[in-house]
C-alpha cells in the first residue's frame, strides 16, 4: 500500500503554495498517494479585497480543497508549509491545529510522520522559529518529526535550515534561495520515515 501524504499549507502570495506543489511532485514521484490542501482563510474579506495580489492568488487557488480533520486521520505522513508571522505560525494554521483535540485525545495522531517548511521576507525573520512552533504541537500529538537535517547537499544550497526547508521572499514576491531540490528531498525523506513506521506497525 502506498504511503498517504497530506500536504497542508497556508499562503497569501503563493510562496508556500509553491513549496507544497514541489512537495506534491516529490510525493507522487515516490509513489505516494498525495493530497494538497489549504487551511481556511480567517482574514476579513475587506482586508483581502484591499490587496489585489492576495485576492488574485486566492482566486487562482479556489479549487484547492480545505483540509478537514478526516484528512489528518487518513494520512500516514503530513507536511506543513506556512509563512512566518512574528516568529510563529499564522493564526489560520493555529486555528486549524487547535481543532485537533478530539483526534489527539483518541490517539489518532500518534506516530504520524510530520515535517514543516516556512518562508519570510527577511532571512532571519523567524523562519526557524515558525517551523519549531509547528513542531511543538506535533510533540503533543505524539507524532514523529522528520527533519531534513544536513543529510543532503540540497539543504546547503537552500540556505542550510536543518529543521525544514525555508526560503526568503524578496519585495518583488520572488524566492531568493533555490529551494526546490531541498523541498523535494525533505518530502522524500518524510515518506521514507513514514514507510519505516508503517512497516514496523504491520
Domain 4-201: give its CATH code: 3.40.50.360
Using the predicted structure, report yes or no on whether residue 161 has a pLDDT greater than 90. Answer: yes
Residue-wise pLDDT for 56-110, tens only, equals 999 999 999 999 999 999 999 999 999 999 999 999 999 999 999 999 999 999 9
Average pLDDT over residues 121-150: 95
Continuous H helices in the chain: 15-29, 45-49, 52-60, 69-74, 91-97, 101-105, 127-141, 153-157, 180-201
pLDDT tens figures, 189-200: 999 999 999 988
- Residues 130, 99: Cα–Cα separation, whole Å: 19
* pLDDT class of 177 with cuts at 50, 70, 90: very high
Q: pTM here? A: 0.96
Query: Residue 122 has what pLDDT?
Result: 87
Contacts 24+ apart (CB under 8 A), 193-201: 193/77, 193/113, 193/144, 193/146, 194/3, 194/5, 194/76, 194/77, 194/113, 194/146, 195/3, 197/76, 197/111, 197/113, 197/144, 198/1, 198/3, 198/76, 201/111
Whether the CB-CB separation of 100 and 70 falls below 8 Å is answered with no
**Structure-block grid coordinates of residue 160:** 542550510
> Over 90: is that where the pLDDT of 173 sits?
no
- Span 22-62, pLDDT tens digits: 999 999 999 999 999 999 999 999 999 999 999 999 999 99
Residue 123 has pLDDT above 90, yes or no: no
pLDDT score recorded for residue 202: 62
CB 131 within 8 A of CB 94: no
Amino acid at each position: 500500500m502506498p504511503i498517504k501524504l497530506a500536504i497542508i499549507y497556508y499562503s497569501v502570495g503563493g510562496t508556500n503554495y509553491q513549496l507544497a506543489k514541489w512537495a506534491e511532485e516529490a510525493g507522487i514521484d515516490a509513489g505516494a498517494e498525495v493530497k494538497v490542501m489549504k487551511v481556511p482563510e480567517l482574514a476579513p474579506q475587506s482586508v483581502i479585497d484591499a490587496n489585489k495580489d492576495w485576492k488574485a492568488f486566492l482566486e487562482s487557488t479556489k479549487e484547492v480543497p480545505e483540509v478537514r480533520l478526516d484528512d489528518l486521520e487518513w494520512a500516514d505522513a503530513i507536511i506543513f508549509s506556512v509563512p512566518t508571522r512574528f516568529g510563529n505560525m499564522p493564526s489560520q494554521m493555529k486555528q486549524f491545529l487547535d481543532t485537533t483535540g478530539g483526534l489527539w485525545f483518541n490517539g489518532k495522531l500518534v506516530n504520524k510522520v510530520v515535517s514543516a517548511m516556512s518562508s519570510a521576507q527577511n532571512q532571519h525573520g523567524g523562519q526557524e522559529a515558525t517551523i519549531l512552533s509547528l513542531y511543538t504541537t506535533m510533540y503533543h500529538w505524539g507524532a514523529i518529526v522528520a527533519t531534513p537535517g544536513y543529510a543532503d547537499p540540497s539543504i546547503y544550497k537552500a540556505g542550510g535550515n536543518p529543521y525544514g526547508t525555508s526560503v526568503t521572499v524578496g519585495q518583488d514576491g520572488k524566492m531568493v534561495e533555490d529551494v526546490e531540490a531541498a523541498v523535494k528531498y525533505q518530502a522524500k525523506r518524510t515518506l521514507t520515515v513514514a514507510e519505516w513506521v508503517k512497516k514496523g506497525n504491520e
